[in-house]
């Protein structure tokens, strides 16, 4: 149960603010997350990590000398946007290349990969190693599909230590891959967790029961049992982690050296973990394993979830040396870090991203001010309907659609008003609003709304007077981009279900010679009808599967909110 917040929508931002104020010795706030506040005298490969918030000390608590150089911080349990990741990369890279490392989750992969592509175009040698340590999230022969949990720590630490030791980007990438291959974890959970402002837990486990393999965002586990004794849990952990297929290539158990990381997910306390660890240590030593620098505590949490995981990091000589190298971050410190050659980063060096407003024609400026008015109307509509959208979403998903749309539409409307004031054209305004929306909304729907606004803007440009044809072409392009980005098709119970009929009807009617307003209204009617029909579909993506039964009979919140926005914009168009 989370109890302390102000506005739930502001929680993640205020959290970052407090974190940075408490830890200014290590980090500075940059757009999209944090970057180190110091830099070593000789440039290093930059290790940029990140993911959703709610997992402290992952990820921001692991930024500092000897570990990561920056962390992109998404909203609670939501990936940072590509724009946020890019910004953290820019603030952190030192001309020696960048390694992106993060847990293997679809949303994170989407956004980090997009950011990687963008900075590569600018000449940054950017590589990626995702963490895939959770042995219950896929079979050993599909290890690359596994999710990342507390093994994040060992992979990030090995990569960060390699960077600090002067390895080049090839070397840092090699070490991160090796560390990931040699890191295996398994987790159990006794309760779910409740996000700020939510009335109910995001997911739950029956009282007295233990979900084996439950993911840190509530992804389904593989089994449910009664809660065992502390010794019983230790035995379960060790049995599975020493099973066939989980011993990394080239490792012989008897005589191996292992860093064990016993991680509490939030409400399991240190005292309990020490009792479990006492038996874990026995069991590993009985197998002839030497324990290296054991870690017992919180390394990757899931808010106040009660649960624990055990990670085994099978070190070779090189990995052990890197593991033992000194580290100095807000939440993880080891050895004696010699800080004498650190320089403080001048925060004014951080790019004033997008400070310049490109020139625009008066026609486009006029169009931009009408788009800003439309975005403001959208903000009002979403504010009024946020609760209902959240309610619908909570049946099949994680219940954050309303709050995400609210954060996104507010941020987009504010940014649009500010840049319209400065004389932005339609493309610039939409691009800025797109970044604001996806940065603040977080999650996949935030990213998709960013894609829609940005793609539409590209078609409108900063010089032409938008016409029915350019608007329709922009919406069609946005539809294509969303489908390509999210890999969803009609019938998957997503936003695509109403976006496709909207874009197609708009294109047909404009081609048939309708005025924009008429065509738009016809398209809106099609989108609303299609959104209603999503109630008859089974959800087709992600973890919503496990809620499939309950979700039947409930429309898709993304499809509903798209139709709602279309109708609102139609009202502004009519308001000529």
Number of chain residues interacting with its own copies (CB under 8 A)? 66
| Pick 267 or 546: Cβ nearer its own copies | 267
Look at residues 162, 137, 121, 152 and name the one whose alpha carbon lies nearest to residue 51: 152
User: Per CB under 8 A, which region of 136-144, 302-310, 448-456, 471-479 contacts its own copies?
Assistant: 302-310
Site for its own copies in 323-352 (CB under 8 A): 326, 328, 331, 333-334, 336-339
502 contacts its own copies (rule: CB under 8 A) = no
In angstroms, rounded to a whole number, what is the distance separating the alpha carbons of residues 266 and 522? 50
Least spacing, CB of residue 251 vs its own copies, in Å: 22
Least spacing, CB of residue 435 vs its own copies, in Å: 24
Look at residues 235, 99, 201, 205 and name the one whose alpha carbon lies nearest to residue 156: 99
283 contacts its own copies (rule: CB under 8 A) = no
Name which position in 22, 222, 347, 511 contacts its own copies (CB under 8 A). Answer: 22
| Pick 278 or 467: Cβ nearer its own copies | 278
User: Per CB under 8 A, which region of 19-27, 33-41, 311-319, 444-452 contacts its own copies?
Assistant: 19-27
Least spacing, CB of residue 260 vs its own copies, in Å: 8
The two three-digit tokens of residue 263, written as one number: 């991680």
What are residue 401's DSSP bridge partners?
Answer: none
Look at residues 492, 491, 494, 567 and name the one whose alpha carbon lies nearest to residue 528: 567
The rounded radius of gyration (Å) of the Cα atoms in the chain is 25
Other C-beta atoms closer than 10 Å to the C-beta of 144 total 10
199 contacts its own copies (rule: CB under 8 A) = no
What are residue 342's DSSP bridge partners?
Answer: 40
In angstroms, rounded to a whole number, what is the distance separating the alpha carbons of residues 182 and 315? 7
Name which position in 295, 311, 406, 472 contacts its own copies (CB under 8 A). Answer: 295
520 contacts its own copies (rule: CB under 8 A) = no
Least spacing, CB of residue 409 vs its own copies, in Å: 23
Q: Which of 83, 111, 217, 240 is catalytic?
A: 217
Q: For tokens 């807000």, what's the residue?
A: 330
576 contacts its own copies (rule: CB under 8 A) = no
| Pick 330 or 425: Cβ nearer its own copies | 330
Asked whether the beta carbons of 94 and 44 are under 8 A apart, the reply is yes
Least spacing, CB of residue 212 vs its own copies, in Å: 14
Least spacing, CB of residue 263 vs its own copies, in Å: 12
550 contacts its own copies (rule: CB under 8 A) = no
User: Per CB under 8 A, which region of 261-269, 377-385, 408-416, 564-572 contacts its own copies?
Assistant: 261-269
| Pick 261 or 554: Cβ nearer its own copies | 261
User: Per CB under 8 A, which region of 10-18, 366-374, 405-413, 455-463 contacts its own copies?
Assistant: 10-18
| Pick 51 or 486: Cβ nearer its own copies | 51
Counting other chains too, the contacts that 382-390 makes at CB distance below 8 Å and 24 or more residues apart are 382/406, 382/409, 382/561, 382/564, 382/565, 383/409, 383/410, 385/561, 385/564, 389/557, 389/560, 389/561, 390/557
| Pick 6 or 144: Cβ nearer its own copies | 6
Site for its own copies in 449-478 (CB under 8 A): none
User: Per CB under 8 A, which region of 37-45, 85-93, 286-294, 530-538 contacts its own copies?
Assistant: 286-294
Name which position in 9, 44, 50, 53 contacts its own copies (CB under 8 A). Answer: 53
Least spacing, CB of residue 84 vs its own copies, in Å: 18
Length of the chain: 576
SS3 label, residue 34: strand
In angstroms, rounded to a whole number, what is the distance separating the alpha carbons of residues 531 and 534? 5
15 contacts its own copies (rule: CB under 8 A) = yes
In angstroms, rounded to a whole number, what is the distance separating the alpha carbons of residues 208 and 190? 7
The gap between the terminal CA atoms of the chain, to the nearest Å, is 48
Site for its own copies in 210-229 (CB under 8 A): 227, 229
The two three-digit tokens of residue 144, written as one number: 């690359």
395 contacts its own copies (rule: CB under 8 A) = no
301 contacts its own copies (rule: CB under 8 A) = yes
Instruction: Quote the Cα angle for 192-301-29, to 5°.
Output: 125
Asked whether the beta carbons of 453 and 433 are under 8 A apart, the reply is yes
Name which position in 40, 113, 165, 267 contacts its own copies (CB under 8 A). Answer: 267
- Omega before residue 59 within 30° of 0, cis: yes
In angstroms, rounded to a whole number, what is the distance separating the alpha carbons of residues 116 and 102? 13
- Catalytic annotation present for 217: yes
Look at residues 496, 478, 379, 503 and name the one whose alpha carbon lies nearest to residue 437: 379
SS3 label, residue 153: helix
The two three-digit tokens of residue 202, written as one number: 């995001």
The DSSP code sequence of 369-429 is: HHHHHHHHHHHHHHHHHHHHHHHHHHHHS-S-HHHHHHHHHHHHHHHHHHHHHTT--HHHH
Which residues of this protein are in contact with its own copies, per CB under 8 A?
1-6, 11, 14-19, 21-23, 25, 53-54, 56-57, 61, 76, 190, 196, 227, 229-231, 233, 262, 266-279, 281, 291, 293-297, 301, 303-304, 306, 308, 326, 328, 331, 333-334, 336-339
Catalytic amino acids?
Answer: 217
């Amino acid at each position: 149960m989370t109890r302390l917040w102000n506005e739930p929508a502001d929680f993640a931002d205020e959290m970052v603010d407090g974190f940075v104020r408490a830890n200014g010795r290590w980090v500075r706030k940059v757009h999209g997350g944090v970057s180190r506040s110091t830099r070593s005298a000789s440039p290093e490969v930059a290790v940029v990590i990140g993911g959703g918030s709610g997992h402290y000390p992952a990820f921001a608590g692991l930024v500092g000398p000897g570990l990561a150089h920056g962390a992109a911080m998404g909203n609670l349990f939501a990936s940072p946007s590509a724009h946020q990741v890019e910004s953290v990369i820019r603030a952190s890279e030192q001309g020696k290349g960048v390694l992106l490392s993060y847990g293997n989750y679809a949303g994170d992969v989407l956004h980090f990969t997009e950011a990687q592509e963008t900075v590569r175009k600018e000449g940054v040698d950017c590589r990626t190693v995702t963490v895939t340590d959770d042995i219950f999230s896929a079979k050993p022969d599909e290890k690359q599909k596994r999710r990342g949990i507390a093994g994040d720590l060992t992979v990030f630490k090995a990569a960060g230590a390699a960077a600090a030791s002067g390895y080049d980007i090839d070397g840092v990438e090699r070490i991160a891959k090796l560390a990931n291959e040699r890191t295996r974890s398994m987790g159990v959970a006794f309760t779910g967790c409740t996000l700020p402002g939510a009335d109910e837990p995001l997911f739950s486990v029956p009282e007295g029961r233990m979900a084996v393999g439950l993911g840190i965002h509530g992804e389904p586990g593989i089994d449910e049992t009664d809660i065992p004794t502390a010794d019983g849990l230790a035995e379960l952990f060790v049995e599975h982690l020493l099973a066939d297929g989980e011993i990394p290539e080239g490792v012989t158990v008897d005589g191996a050296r292992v860093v064990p990381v016993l991680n509490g997910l939030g409400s399991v306390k240190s005292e309990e973990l020490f009792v479990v660890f006492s038996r874990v240590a026995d069991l590993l030593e009985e197998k002839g394993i030497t324990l290296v620098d054991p870690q017992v505590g919180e390394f990757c949490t899931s808010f106040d979830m009660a649960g624990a995981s055990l990670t085994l990091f099978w070190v070779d000589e090189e990995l052990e040396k890197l593991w033992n190298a000194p580290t100095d971050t807000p939440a993880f410190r080891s050895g004696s870090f010699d800080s004498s050659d650190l320089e403080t980063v001048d925060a004014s060096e951080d790019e004033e991203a997008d400070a310049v407003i490109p020139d625009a024609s008066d026609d486009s400026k006029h169009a931009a001010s009408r788009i800003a008015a439309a975005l403001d109307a959208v903000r009002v509509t979403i504010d009024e309907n946020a609760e209902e959208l959240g309610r619908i979403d909570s049946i099949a998903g994680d219940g954050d659609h309303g709050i995400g749309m609210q954060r996104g539409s507010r941020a987009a409307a504010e940014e649009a008003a500010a840049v319209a004031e400065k004389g932005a054209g339609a493309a610039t305004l939409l691009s800025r609003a797109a970044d604001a929306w996806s940065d603040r909304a977080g999650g996949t729907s935030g990213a998709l709304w960013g894609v829609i606004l940005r793609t539409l803007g590209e078609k409108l440009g900063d010089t032409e007077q938008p016409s029915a044809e350019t608007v329709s072409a922009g919406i069609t392009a946005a539809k294509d981009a969303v489908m390509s980005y999210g890999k969803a098709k009609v019938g998957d119970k997503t936003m695509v279900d109403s976006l496709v009929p909207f874009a197609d009807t708009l294109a047909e009617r404009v081609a048939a010679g309708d005025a924009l307003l008429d065509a738009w209204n016809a398209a809106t009617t099609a989108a609303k009808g299609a959104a209603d029909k999503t109630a008859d579909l089974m959800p087709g993506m992600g973890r919503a599967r496990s809620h499939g039964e309950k979700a039947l009979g409930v429309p898709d919140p993304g499809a509903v909110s798209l139709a709602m926005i279309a109708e609102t914009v139609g009202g502004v168009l009519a308001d000529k």
